[in-house]
Amino acid sequence: METNDITQRDSFTGRIGIIAAVAGSAVGLGNIWKFPYITGVYGGGAFVLVYLICIAIIGLPVMLSEFTIGRKAQRNAVGSFKKLAPGKPWFLTGVMGIAAAFMILAFYGVVAGWTLEYLGKAVINSFAGKNPADLEGMFGGFISQVIRPIFWQFIFMGLTCWIVLAGIKGGIEKASKILMPVLLLIIVILDIRAITLPGAGEGLSFLFKPDFSKLSAEGVLSALGHAFFSLSLGMGTLITYSSYMGKNENLGSMAIQCTVADTGIALLAGVAIFPAVFAFGIEPGAGPGLVFITLPNVFQQMPGGYIFSLLFFLLLAVAALTSSISILEVVVAYFSEELKIARRNATIMATIAITIVGIPCSLSMGAMSKVQFLGKTFFDWLDYIAANILLPIGGLLIVAFVGWYLGYDKTKEEITNSGKLKAAYLPLFLFLAKFIAPLVIAIVFLHGLGLF
């Protein structure tokens, strides 16, 4: 029987392990699949600029708030609030996070399954000799099938479940420590190839030159939602992870490092993709297939393209895995610590339930693509509700909890490791946490939903 005693809980072994695990959670399909695809849908540079502003003034304070809450309480996403604010309704923030985790992992597992299919395609060299139209047809043909994408989704969810069962130390750390730097290297090589393609300049200006006439209210809300999604914020993932951190870590510098790494990788992925999108005449707003259609074109235009395609999809799948385990961990820590379900059973039950919800997400790309509500499929709705509604509300409650409920003294105590560290940024952090972040989230949120 597991107890809530700190000494009984699993914990990370050392500094690199923690940074690798948090960065492994943050860096995933959000950076390489979702960021480029929604940047294309919402018109490019202006969206990117708003996204970066959201990261700096909202994402960073929310991340530091999650670290503060989790490490102070040493509990899961719900238990942390119960411990720090006994008898108060703050724990509902965590409950909402559990719901968000369910939804996100449901569609995340589907897209991660696509990366496995594409890894298979890379192995048998199926991109060779195909033109952009062929590659578009290849993607459309694959995701609209019934069985194949669901098969890969099951495999991916099985892998996620298996790693979570293996525990924090064994699973999470080992995978992220070695492989994420290699993924970064491959993306940089892809960048070099992409920006030297004829016509690349147009892609770079699409990505970096803001044209505010293309930016809608929904675009701004999506930029905010994606800041949360990409940094793994707003649902207690980082509360859960930081609950395993030691009391001598520097939370502030860790938040900055992880934020910079995550944002850098997203931008580098954008630089690999948009020049190629324009060079090959692909529609920037092509949607969720953008990366899967564009990059195979790039692989064909580079020496060693076969090896690069293989490594890229392999590492993308690994990046997805280090993120998906962090999402599942939120649910499992809650089930096992709060509901006292044995960890093993909790892991298996949660995986099965989430995978089932993922099935209609997968079918949204084909058999159920006509089943729409207000122009969005089941897949779109899960993504929209989780990323654009639940995460921003969760993020708002998390910063407000630290800014207003914990307050100056307790926050200072935690962030300075009981006075051992200097934290000159503390007044700025609390100002953002109390006023700016909640206000901006509320305005963007209401405006994006058309209520303001």
Binding site for ligand TRP (CB under 6 A): 25-26, 28-31, 104, 229-230, 232, 235, 237, 323, 326-327
What's the per-residue H, E or C state across 327-382? HHHHHHHHHHHCCCCCHHHHHHHHHHHHHHHHHHHHHCCCCCCCCCECCECHHHHH
Which CB, 58 or 302, lies closer to ligand TRP? 58
Q: Is 419 exposed, middle or buried (0-12, 13-18, 19+ CB in 10 A)?
A: exposed
**Shortest distance (Å) from residue 134 CB to ligand TRP:** 28
> How does DSSP assign 253-291, residue by residue?
HHHHHHHHHHHHHHHHHHHHHHHHHHHTT--TT--TTHH
Q: Is 141 exposed, middle or buried (0-12, 13-18, 19+ CB in 10 A)?
A: exposed
Determine the Cα–Cα distance for residues 331 and 237; give it in Å rounded to an integer: 9
Q: Output the smallest distance, CB 325 to ligand TRP, in A.
A: 9
Q: How many Cα atoms within 13 Å fall on the side-chain side of residue 230?
A: 33
Smallest distance, Å, CB 243 to ligand TRP? 15
Looking at the Cβ atoms of 29 and 276, the one nearer to ligand TRP is 29
Helices 391-400 & 217-230 angle (0-180, nearest 10): 70
- Chain residue at closest Cβ approach to ligand TRP: 30
Considering the complex, state which of residue 29 and residue 221 has its C-beta at the smaller distance from ligand TRP. 29
By the 8 A CB rule, do 379 and 103 touch? no
Nearer to ligand TRP, 326 or 411 (CB): 326
Q: Give 31 or 242: the residue with its C-beta nearer to ligand TRP.
A: 31
CB of 68 to ligand TRP, least distance (A): 17
Nearest to ligand TRP of 144, 257 (CB atom): 257
Least distance to ligand TRP, CB of residue 416, Å: 27
Q: In the complex, what is the shortest distance from the CB of residue 266 to ligand TRP, in angstroms, rounded to a whole number?
A: 8
Shortest separation between residue 167's beta carbon and ligand TRP, angstroms: 18
Q: Which ranges constitute the DSSP H helices of 87-199? A: 91-123, 132-143, 147-166, 174-195
Is the Cβ of residue 395 or residue 448 nearer to ligand TRP in the bound state? Answer: 395
Residues whose CB falls within 8 Å of the CB of residue 426, separated by 6 or more in sequence, listed in order = 408, 411, 412, 415, 416
For ligand TRP, the closer CB: 236 or 275:
236
Instruction: For the CB of residue 327, give the shortest distance to ligand TRP in the complex, in Å.
Output: 5
CA angle 310, 316, 319 (to 5 degrees): 140
Kindly tell me which of 238 and 363 has the beta carbon lying closer to ligand TRP: 238
In whole angstroms, what is the distance from residue 340 CA to residue 3 CA? Answer: 9
Minimum gap (Å) between residue 205 Cβ and ligand TRP: 25
Widest pairwise Cα distance in the chain: 64
Question: What one-character DSSP code corresponds to residue 212?
Answer: G
